[in-house]
Amino acid sequence: MTTTAPHSAVTSAPVCTPTVGTTSSCTGIEKTINGICTTSYSCTPVKTTGGCDATATKGYLSTMSVPSSTHVPSTKPWTMSTAVRSTSKADWTRAASTSNVASATSATSAYSTFVARNWPADKLDTLRDNSISKLESYLAAHPAEGSCTLENATVRKEYGDLTDAERAEYINAVLCLQSLPAKSGKTYPGAKTRYDDFVALHIDLTPDVHNTANFLTWHRYFTWSYEQALKNECGYTGAQPYWNWNRYASSPSKSPIFNGNATSMSAGPNNECVTEGPFVDMKVNLGPGSSTAYNPRCLKRNISTYWSKFTTIDYTYPLVTEQNTITGFQNTMQVASQVHAGGHFTFGGDPGGDIYASPGDPVFFIHHSGIDRLYWLWQLQDLPTRLTAVGGSVAGSSATGALTDVLDMGVVNEDRTIGDMMNTMGGNKGAFCYIYT
């Protein structure tokens, strides 16, 4: 059941005529690409459900409006070239918010030319584009459970490819979740908010869901459950964004995630409280370590280029293309000098650098969406085999993991099995229906 919350996302269209596509009048936080206005915020402020107040959001997000865009139909929306992919189901929109406005209305569907990214495509982006045909062929022979199709699948986009309005809506939803009451307070006394429910569960289950057979599937379900809470409890209409670490590895602090502007995930001096962006007043309530006692403190980061080097394409591409077994793939991913740890310690700090309490930093979910994208890309290379591949052992046991092993989600969601989580297209008893850019 959907609950209206004080910081829920924008729900109505702007009352104005945007300046999209013009070469002048770019105002506010509007951006230009090659001299072309890409979004307009010089409009009548849009109402937000529940009326998110400026004090709660530090004045960053309460008056942002959704930019308009031009819709161009396509028979294969998941293959659109030079497109701005909407994260709402069914419709991806092509608009003047690409680097080439003309091509936005003339491009044709082709597997070799996909969405115009805000950064040049890296080797994994290209692999993704070249692998979608495999997914299309597989679904033609094995239709997804439920009503899921490529035409209506939710599309998770890279954080840097979101518009400012899309980032604002996502941030508002996270702030909303941090304002709702916890459901697990009796079990975890330090959990004070709905957001804390996720942190507490991860703290409690850390030894059971790392370096185990369920690592990838448990975190897939955990991240999806977080996305659903943002949608169902806070009115979020987008999808969970992911982090393509390779884009920003040389200077993470300058990335759209960590640059400290109004639509970033906040920033500040290393090992000190964040001082810029929407999460400056955020309280980390749980941890450090395995403690679920109430311990309120500020959010701290420790941005590191030492760790970010392990997230580059030099590490992630061979991981996806050279590891042919699930055991090799997940075990290699989890070594210290690889993308899982590298991503966590790229932002580090408290609680981001804490294996137990790391979901206490909202960037955790952007990072783990990126991890899930790697898993998805790996599966795409051999869908018939890899949609049932399980490897590794069960925590505290020498027993090998199995598709029937149960994944504990506490109050976050219903328990499911590893087998339920294998396919993003129709998995989770038909509830999963998403892909990645």
pLDDT digits (tens, 9 = 90+) for 146-165: 999 999 999 999 999 999 99
Residue type, 350: D
Mean pLDDT value across the chain: 80
With 60 as the cut, is the pLDDT of residue 346 above it? yes
Per-residue model confidence (pLDDT) at position 96: 25
For residue 434, pLDDT over 70 is answered with yes
Question: Other CB atoms closer than 10 Å to residue 385's CB: what's the count?
Answer: 12
The upper half-sphere exposure of residue 334, i.e. CA atoms within 13 Å in the direction of its Cβ, equals: 18
Q: Is 0.85 topped by the overall pTM?
A: no
Q: Are 310 and 221 in contact (CB under 8 A)?
A: no
Q: How many beta carbons lie within 10 A of that of residue 194, not counting itself? A: 23
- Identify the band that residue 278 occupies on the pLDDT scale cut at 50, 70 and 90: very high
- Give the tens place of pLDDT for each residue, 115-127: 668 999 999 999 9
Structure-block tokens of residue 91: 């419709």
pLDDT at 28: 33
Spatial contact of 378 and 329, defined as CB atoms under 8 Å apart: yes
Terminal CA-to-CA distance of the chain, rounded, Å? 29
Query: Predicted confidence band at 54 (pLDDT cuts at 50, 70, 90)?
Result: very low
Beta-bridge mates of residue 154 = 434
Q: CA 57 to CA 281: how far, in whole Å?
A: 9
- Tell whether the model's pLDDT for residue 78 goes beyond 50: no
Q: Cα angle at 161 between 130 and 166, to 5 degrees?
A: 130
Query: Could you give the count of Cα atoms lying within 13 Å of 246 in the half-sphere of its Cβ?
Result: 16
Q: By the 8 A CB rule, do 74 and 42 touch?
A: no
- Tokens for 23, please give them: 């070469």
Nearest to 274 by CA among 58, 64, 63: 58
| pLDDT, mean of residues 28-40 | 30
Question: What 8-state DSSP symbol labels residue 182?
Answer: P
CATH architecture of 159-436: Orthogonal Bundle (1.10)
Q: Residue 116 has what pLDDT?
A: 63
The pLDDT of 349-361, averaged and rounded, is 98
Measured in degrees and rounded to the nearest 5, phi and psi for residue 219 equal -70, -30
Q: How large is the average pLDDT for residues 25-42?
A: 31
CA distance 154 to 132: 15
In this structure, what DSSP letter does residue 350 have?
H
Distances (CA, A) of 58 to 55, 258, 263, 276, 386: 5, 17, 12, 10, 46
